[in-house]
Amino acid sequence: MKKIEAIIKPFKLEDVKEALVEAGIEGMTISEVKGYGRQQGHSELYRGAEYVIEFIPKVKIEIVVSSQEFADVAINAIKEAAMTGKIGDGKIFVSDIESVVRIRTGEEDQEAL
């Protein structure tokens, strides 16, 4: 089982979600995060004083899938939907998951996905 974490630009969330649903991924968790990579912040102005916003708002999507095949499908869906071609599009991280439990029924691992 694989976990896929994707950091994307916030306005791309709808597009990515639809792409994942079309690809057959049934559930996901999102959180609002801040970060920066090569896309440095930008500066704003308040009452005559300038300040730099270093951390840029992003959205993190987390999904857990049952196999490497599904993982590849998800990664491709996310890549295509989240891309704008400009700096700051984000990154995707893949890791292994040891076990999964569905709380309502107690099902484990593959049955829970």
Partner 1 sequence: MLDNPSYIIDTFFAIFAMVLIIFMVPGFAMLEAGLVRTKNVTSVLTVNVMIYAVASLSFMLIGYEYAFGSWDHQEGISKYAFFMFQMAFVGKVVNIMSGGVSERSRILPLALFTIAVGAFIYPTIVNITWGANFLAGTQFDISGMADLAGSTVIHSTGGWALLAAILIMGSRKGRYKKSGAVQVIPASNIPLVTLGAFLLWIGWFGFNGGSVGAISSKENADAVALTIMNTNTAGLAGAIVGWLLTYFTYRKFDITMILNGALGGLVAVTAGPDQYDIYTPILIGAIGGALVVFFVPLFDKLKMDDPVGALSVHLVNGIWGTLAVGIFVDDVSILTQLKGIAVVGAIVFPISFVIIYIINKLFTLRAGDEEQQEGIDYTECGMEAYPEFKRSI
Closest CA to 113 of 66, 71, 69: 66
Q: Which is nearer to partner 1, 44 or 69 (CB)?
A: 44
Site for partner 1 in 14-33 (CB under 8 A): 32
The nearer residue to partner 1, 51 or 93, going by C-beta atoms, is 51
Residue 101 neighbours by CB under 8 Å, 6+ apart: 107, 108, 112
Interactions with partner 1, residue window 34-93 (CB under 8 A): 34, 44-51, 55
Give the torsion sign (CA, 76, 81, 84, 87). negative
Q: How far is the CB of 45 from partner 1 (least distance, A)?
A: 5
Q: State phi, psi for 112 to the nearest 5 degrees.
A: -85, -10
**Which tokens hold the place of 87?**
């700096």
Nearest approach, Cβ of 42 to partner 1 (angstroms)?
Answer: 13
Q: Which residue has tokens 């857990």? A: 64
Q: How far is the CB of 40 from partner 1 (least distance, A)?
A: 18
Q: How far is the CB of 32 from partner 1 (least distance, A)?
A: 8
Chain contacts with partner 1 (rule: CB under 8 A): 32, 34, 44-51, 55
